[in-house]
Amino acid sequence: MKPSIIVSRPIYPEVIEKLQQHFNVTAHQTDPEWTTERWTQALSQQDGALTMGIETVNDAVLAACPRLRICANLSVGYNNFDVPAMTRHKVLATNAPDVLTETTADFGFALLMAAARRVTESERYIREGHWQKWALESFAGMAVHGSTLGIIGMGRIGQAIAKRGAHGFNMRVIYHNRSRLSPSDEVACKAAYVSKQELLQQADHVVLVLPYSKESHHTIGAAELGLMKPTATLVNIARGGIIDDTALAKALATGQIAAAGLDVFEGEPKLHPDLLKVPNAVLTPHIGSSTRATRLAMANLAADNLIAFFSDGSALTPLNPEVLQKP
């Protein structure tokens, strides 16, 4: 008898077909509004789940789902998972790293460029019919080539952004991370390790690429924004909650920093209303990895984790591999 799995939200038909070769699949292709109760009830009938990085799997949910053995996140982030609780319940957690690194780094740099060079602000100006003549100081932005790039969070995506800046734009690259890179990785990225305070004070462009956790909540708040240059830009392609959006909206409105590029937000899809009022914020709806090729690769990796687990008890990208250990 095939194991039963749930796919929490719409996904590519070819991935559903792939999963159906191995599982009894409950596919939700109409993007349901999951309440905690509805999600828990649906999950309780399943042996496994393919989740999108937003469906909560915590101790309370797991207690109601004794059949559940694996949850495979389609995203690289997994703050929807309580991994210690999943380990206690002997439920494997997996994510989808690596396959989205270059695409997300591309988008992070796109946001940096758009914010620094005032791309969306000037486009709105044209669309609203205001452009009447060329002017020397019209929408003068911040230089990117030859400037200082500061990266907080120097994992795969952070390193990919560093290489784009150092090799493509001749930028001085500084970074802050929980642990310092190896000397060879620093050379490859042309990056120098500095304290968080030094980075905020020196960088012309700050890019956030760190995972969300209780420790990283509001990594950038009013105090940190106060350390930044008034000409600096701030880019977040990591997770909502890493920036205090209230403090950022105020800093943008008062000119404390020059601009921001944001792909993620606290409480998304809701946004802090003041972020919608400031012209110097480039806002995108969590699309950092959104090319079809990349999203399909993410979906296939999540599917392959499910297939491997139920086929031979393995996984390609386990977050709590101790669950796989034989008693």
Residues recognised as catalytic: 239, 268, 286
In 3-state terms the chain splits into helix, strand, coil percentages (rounded to 5) of: 40, 15, 45
Structure tokens at 225: 């924004």
End-to-end CA gap in the chain: 24
Helix (H) or strand (E) holding 182: none
What is the C-alpha to C-alpha distance for residues 275 and 250, in angstroms, rounded to an integer?
A: 9
What is the C-alpha to C-alpha distance for residues 93 and 58, in angstroms, rounded to an integer?
A: 11
CA distances (Å), 304 to each of 18, 299, 307, 312, in order? 9, 9, 5, 12
Helix (H) or strand (E) holding 71: strand 70-73
Number of Cβ within a 10 Å radius of residue 170: 12
Helix axes 101-116, 119-127, angle to 10 degrees: 60
Structure tokens at 263: 């792909």
Residues in CB range of 84: below 8 A, 6 or more apart = none
Sequential DSSP letters for 218-244: TSB-HHHHHHS-TT-EEEE-S-TTSB-
What is the C-alpha to C-alpha distance for residues 24 and 2, in angstroms, rounded to an integer?
A: 6
What is the C-alpha to C-alpha distance for residues 222 and 256, in angstroms, rounded to an integer?
A: 10
Structure tokens at 100: 């989205």
Report the DSSP pairing between strands 259-262 and 281-283: parallel
